[in-house]
Amino acid sequence: MKKKLFIAVAGLALLFAGYYYWQNRYVELRPIIAIEYDRQIILFDNSYFRFAEPNEIPPNFYKHLKFVLDCSRIDYIEKNGIIYVRNKFFDDMELAWNFTNRASSAKFFKMKKEMDSINGDTERLKELENIIQDFNTKRRVIK
């Protein structure tokens, strides 16, 4: 009887350890784009999104994404220019889509700069000005 109880407890402990590892491992944060609604049957919330192709990503996306993740206080690791986040954050594709939109939107950085100037946070103002300038030079090149 003790042997069966020990095996059951050890099995549950292994399952819990495996789940904990799976949720806290680092995976590559790939940009997410919303899928246009075309009257298809959607069973899960993640079916509204897809991974972006490399040509759909703005040139300074990963540089801006680091700033967005720092503002959101999300732990990440950067290796060779690729950002890795914990799997539990990447399971929610809506959250990853939100990070993608923030990192590719000049509007977010302008709002952040305005809020930081109101709150007196002068350390990040120069970094925000450089990011906003990146968006402005990108627009000049496209026009």
Spans of all domains in the chain: 28-104
CB 99 within 8 A of CB 64: no
Residues in CB range of 106: below 8 A, 6 or more apart: 132, 135, 136
Which two tokens mark 47?
């079916």
Q: What is the pTM of this model?
A: 0.70
Angle at CA 33, nearest 5°, toward 132 and 22?
Answer: 105
pLDDT tens digits, 39-49: 555 555 556 77
CB 99 within 8 A of CB 65: yes
Pairing of strands 76-79, 49-51: unpaired
pLDDT tens digits, 11-36: 999 999 988 888 888 888 888 887 76
Mean pLDDT of 85-91: 80
Using DSSP's 3-state secondary structure scheme, residue 113 falls into helix
Closest CA to 130 of 84, 82, 112: 112
| Residue positions counted in the chain | 143
Mean pLDDT of 88-107: 82
Angle at CA 14, nearest 5°, toward 11 and 18?
Answer: 140
- Cα-Cα-Cα-Cα torsion 131, 105, 116, 28, nearest 10 degrees, comes to -80
pLDDT at residue 13, rounded to an integer: 92
